[in-house]
Amino acid sequence: MSQRPDPAPTPRATVLQPAPRRRAPDAPTPAPAKWLAVLPYLTLPLFLAVIAALVWLTRSADRDEQRMTLINDVLWMEQNLQFQLDRNASLLAQIGPELFAHDTQPASTEAKLRQLLRPESGLVRVIWLDAEGRRKGEMPPMSGSHLIGESVGAVPANSVFRLARAIGRRAYGPAYEVADGSHQFEVHVPIYSEDAFIGAAVGIYSLHELIAGELPWWFSERYRVSVLDADGRQIVAKSKVAPLSGDMKYMIPFDPPGHGLSLHITAYRGETRWVPVLLIASIVLLAGIIVWSVWQLRRQLVRRHSAEQALRRESLFRKAMEDSLLTGLRARDLDGRITYVNPAFCKMVGYSPEELIGRLPPMPYWDPDHLERTQEVHDMILSGAAPPEGVELRLRRKNGERLDALIFEAPLIDAAGCHTGWMGSLLDITEQKRARELGRQQEERLQATSRLVTMGEMASTLAHELNQPLAAIASYNTGCLNRLEQATIDRDELRDIHAKLGRQARRAGEIIRRVHDFVRRAEPKREALDFNTVIREAIGLIEADAHKRRMRIETDLAPRLPDIPADPVMIEQVIVNLVRNGMDAMHDNPPDRRTVRVATREEGGQLVVRVADSGRGIDADTARRLFEPFFTTKPEGMGMGLNICRSIAELHHGRLGFESNPDGGTIFILSFPVELS
Amino acid sequence: MNPACAHIIDDDEAIRDALQWLFKTRDVACATWPSAEEFLAAVQPDWRGCAVIDIRMAGMSGLECFDALRARSNLLPVVFITGHGDVPMAVAALKKGAFDFIEKPFNDSDLVDVVVRALDADAQRQVAAATRETVEARLALLTAREREVMEQILAGKYNKVIADHLNISMRTVEAHRSKVFDKMAVRSAVELAQLINLVGGR
């Protein structure tokens, strides 16, 4: 779940998102989404508060209910105790007259007394007193010394007796402690016989017995019952075990017997009521899970958000990088359809992305003059055979300008590892090519110049060398003429001078012979030469130049030619020279008439090379002087080219001629004898 | 003092010989030198005539030879013989005071004509130089006062004006004037002016 997004998305991932260009990349999150994001944090505490309130309310209702039960139980108990006390008092009042009727009690009375003194009644003793308060009898009999009270004889208490006699109703005495530490109190019931007060029946209650005997088992299991005296001291407790719950208790005055006694009832910890507990526990548990999951969700959101941020940063970074690139980038799918172009590419070819994306070849930026080659390169790339060192291609901008591009291709692999297309980078090398071409021309010019300088130097030396004897000859000659003008002629003198004249003439001839020897030493080296190959190489040399000048060179070479012993460099120079001449002649031609045709044939024991142009042609005057040295029709020409060509042809025992082209222009014809040996 | 002659300086023997023959047929005296070094070693300030120098020679070139001559204040007229490539150099030399240049191969009559003119020019130069020497010697005879008076005369002033200017009497001016004419061996102010112009004015 917390998988990080790939920090470097594959090119494919970038490529298939051309849309970000149109959408503001850092658009703010819309308001509803913000609300949605905040909502869980608002509702969660609310939810928890509600759950807590519910639990609290449930607990409090439960407690109230418990308390109500407690109060009910207490009231019931109190009533029960009162009921018991009242019944005992009634029984005492009933049995009273019989006690006074006989001195010794008959068995029936005794049985009734015993019935009264059952342990659960709370009564431990019954005493009956006469009208003066004197003790008439008791049941069971009392051993004299175990009473603790006002005095030994003071049980039953006279004050209570007097109160009962005075009001004519039963009266309860205060509780007092007896010898074994337990507490007792007594009830005095006045007995009347025919409206005459005859005495009182006194019931002595043991508080402990009363409480213990009277309460049912279930009550004592739930509650701890204790009796407190007026000073708040506990005098009787049903159980010695301290109650655990402090707040679940209830106190009511214990009346009768009164005299400040109170009943204290405290609930023991009630048995756990599992259903609500489970309910609450499960609610709390579920709430916890919700909180946890919301927390996890939030962490997830934060992580996702930061991942998105990182992704957006990354993509912005990549876009900035891409936009700042000078290299044109272009992605294509497997069918060759453009899926992506970067700004540099658009700038390079002059088309907008909308015009390019989705296009199938042929592309608008392909150069119509090189369609076949471009298609070839395209097919090669799609077949995966693109050379790693790149392909050079001539393209055309939207405005018609040509550009030379160096193209590198790499396969596009998507996130799943599938090959989905090709990514190409284009470098504009027009300028470099132009610079290279200029450099080459510069080099050529330099070489030509240095050749010229050398040639000039040679010519100058030659001229000086020849000048010397010629000047001497001229001087001798003038001198002789001067002598002939004069009257006297010294024949010996003239003979001497003519001998000198002859010497100088021979000297001049010697110089010329030396030059000729020198030229002779530069005889061509001869090797068996395939003219077709030489012609192809020569055209290869000049093709770039032709292309630049928008000229075409066509060849029509005979399939089989005999090899001719010749110097390849010289023959190549002749061909280059003639082709260049042809192109110069077509300088002003319209584009469809700018072709130089080079043809080879074997005709009648001659190997014939024809170089035909469709230029201006050669007029009669020019034709007469064409092979004169230093004759040229070109402003920068030397007037040596054709001359050299003819010399080379003649060195190889061949001929250079020309005729006019029936289609207009000129055909230069080189012919060499085929030596059958 | 050597008679005036054309000094041919060329490293090519045939040329020297041919030119010597040519000059001989025109009655022009000449001497030949196989190199600039040899000529410079021999040349004297009082030599008359002219020098015919080939520009392109083994060793010292013709132009260097010309510069060396001028460095010694030798004002011998110099005619250059030049090949096709040396023409700009020859023209530059001409601007520095060379007499002329003849391009090879030359029309030989032209060459002799140029040399004859150069010899004449040198002769004239010699005459002028001799005159200047005389004039300067005569000027040296003048006293300071006479020189002052002469300057006033050359300025075309009358005796009266000169007398006022120099605060001297007319008679004294006339006496000085006749002394100046006497010492300078002239008879008029016009002659005096011509004489002074010959030595380059004052």
Contact A188, A77 (CB under 8 A): no
Round to whole Å and give the CA distance between A175 and A260: 9
Contact A371, A362 (CB under 8 A): yes
- The neighbour count for residue A155, using CB atoms within 10 Å, is 24
Query: What are the φ/ψ torsions at residue A549 (nearest 5 degrees)?
Result: -90, 10
How many whole angstroms from its chain centre is CA A393?
A: 36
Torsion of CA A367, A368, A373, A378, to 10 degrees: 70
CA nearest B108: which of A126, A483, A132, A321? A483
Residue of higher predicted confidence among A518 and B19: B19
Round to whole Å and give the CA distance between A613 and A578: 10
Cross-chain Cβ contact B108/A477 below 8 Å: yes
**CB proximity A464 to B under 8 Å:** yes
Q: Which residues does B111 contact at the CB level (< 8 Å), separation at least 6?
A: A475, B19, B22, B52, B79, B81, B102
Q: Which of B12, B104, B106, B111 to mutate to test the interface with A (most CBs of A within 10 A)?
A: B104
Predicted confidence at residue A145, as pLDDT, reads: 44
Q: What burial class does residue A167 get, using C-beta atoms within 10 Å of its C-beta: 0-12 exposed, 13-18 middle, 19+ buried? A: exposed
**A128-145 burial: b if 16+ Cβ within 10 Å, else e:** bbeeebeebbbbeeeeee
Per-residue pLDDT tens digits for A386-414: 777 888 888 888 888 888 888 888 888 88
Per-residue pLDDT tens digits for A464-493: 788 889 889 988 998 898 888 888 888 888
Q: What is the ipTM of this complex?
A: 0.71
Interval A113-125 mean pLDDT: 80
Which residues of B fall within a CB distance of 8 Å from A463?
83-85
Q: Is the pLDDT of residue A311 over 90?
A: yes
Q: Given phi > 0 = left and psi -120 to 50 = alpha, else beta, which region is A554?
A: beta
Contact A57, A249 (CB under 8 A): no
**CB proximity A472 to B under 8 Å:** yes
Element (H, E) at A150: none
Per-residue pLDDT tens digits for A246-287: 567 788 888 777 777 888 888 776 566 688 778 888 888 888
Predicted confidence at residue A158, as pLDDT, reads: 77
Per-residue pLDDT tens digits for A593-639: 889 999 999 888 889 999 999 888 888 888 888 877 777 777 766 66
Q: Which residues does A167 contact at the CB level (< 8 Å), separation at least 6?
A: none
Predicted confidence at residue A149, as pLDDT, reads: 42
pLDDT band of A7, cuts 50, 70, 90: very low
Q: Residue B124 corresponds to which tokens in the numbers above? A: 């004239």
Per-residue pLDDT tens digits for A569-596: 888 888 988 998 888 888 888 888 889 9
Q: Is A668 helix (H, G, I), strand (E, B) or coil?
A: strand
Size of interface A-B (CB pairs under 8 A): 73
Cross-chain Cβ contact B83/A464 below 8 Å: yes
Distance to chain A for B186, nearest Cα, Å: 47
Please tell me which of the candidates A471, A497, A503 has its beta carbon nearest to residue B105. Answer: A471
Q: Given phi > 0 = left and psi -120 to 50 = alpha, else beta, which region is A566?
A: beta
Interval B72-88 mean pLDDT: 84
Please tell me which of the candidates A460, A463, A474 has its beta carbon nearest to residue B108. Answer: A474
Element (H, E) at B183: helix B170-184
Contact B82, B101 (CB under 8 A): yes
Contact B118, B77 (CB under 8 A): yes
Predicted confidence at residue A499, as pLDDT, reads: 92
Residue of higher predicted confidence among B43 and A129: B43
Q: Is the pLDDT of residue A19 over 60?
A: no
pLDDT band of A305, cuts 50, 70, 90: very high
Edge to edge, the sheet with strand B49-54 lists: B30-33, B5-9, B49-54, B78-82, B100-103
Round to whole Å and give the CA distance between A116 and A102: 19
Q: Given phi > 0 = left and psi -120 to 50 = alpha, else beta, which region is A160?
A: alpha
Between the CA of residue A449 and those of A442, A443, A631, A644, what are the distances in Å? 10, 10, 19, 17
Query: B179 has which bridge partners?
Result: none
Contact A127, A137 (CB under 8 A): yes
| 3-state percent breakdown (helix, strand, coil) of chain B, nearest 5 | 60, 10, 30
Round to whole Å and give the CA distance between B140 and B84: 52
Round to whole Å and give the CA distance between A169 and B100: 188
Round to whole Å and give the CA distance between B183 and B141: 7
Round to whole Å and give the CA distance between A302 and A300: 5
In this prediction, what percent of chain A has a pLDDT beyond 90?
8
Report the chain B residue with the minimal C-alpha distance to residue A507: B14
Round to whole Å and give the CA distance between A666 and A675: 28
How many whole angstroms from its chain centre is CA B144?
A: 31
Q: Is A517 helix (H, G, I), strand (E, B) or coil?
A: helix
Query: Would you give the end-to-end CA distance of chain A in angstroms?
Result: 91
Q: Which of residues 10-39 of A touch B (CB under 8 A)?
A: none
CA nearest A390: which of A427, A337, A430, A436? A427
Q: Is A540 helix (H, G, I), strand (E, B) or coil?
A: helix
**CB proximity A467 to B under 8 Å:** yes
Q: Is the pLDDT of residue A552 over 50?
A: yes
Q: Is the pLDDT of residue B17 over 80?
A: yes
Residue A426 half-sphere exposure, CB side, CA atoms within 13 Å? 22
Q: What is the mean pLDDT of chain A?
A: 80
Cross-chain Cβ contact A464/B109 below 8 Å: no
Predicted confidence at residue A247, as pLDDT, reads: 64
Residue B5 half-sphere exposure, CB side, CA atoms within 13 Å? 16
Which residues of B fall within a CB distance of 8 Å from A457?
none
Q: Residue B4 corresponds to which tokens in the numbers above? A: 């005036």
Q: Residue B99 corresponds to which tokens in the numbers above? A: 């007499």
Please tell me which of the candidates A463, A503, A507 has its beta carbon nearest to residue B83. Answer: A463
Tell me the residue type at A119: P
Q: Which of A461, A482, A510 to mutate to test the interface with B (most CBs of B within 10 A)?
A: A482
Predicted confidence at residue A312, as pLDDT, reads: 93
Which residues of A fall within a CB distance of 8 Å from B19?
475
| DSSP one-letter code for A422 | E
Which residues of B fall within a CB distance of 8 Å from A483?
25
Contact B47, B76 (CB under 8 A): yes
**B98-107 burial: b if 16+ Cβ within 10 Å, else e:** bbbbbbbbbe
Predicted confidence at residue B8, as pLDDT, reads: 93
Q: Residue A529 corresponds to which tokens in the numbers above? A: 């030469």
Q: Residue A171 corresponds to which tokens in the numbers above? A: 């009266």
pLDDT band of A502, cuts 50, 70, 90: very high
CA angle A337, A343, A344 (to 5 degrees): 100
Predicted confidence at residue A308, as pLDDT, reads: 93
Predicted confidence at residue A669, as pLDDT, reads: 93
Predicted confidence at residue A96, as pLDDT, reads: 79
With both helix axes pointing from N to C terminus, report the angle between A31-101 and A107-116 in degrees, rounded to the nearest 10.
160
Round to whole Å and give the CA distance between A17 and A340: 9
Round to whole Å and give the CA distance between B146 and A126: 202
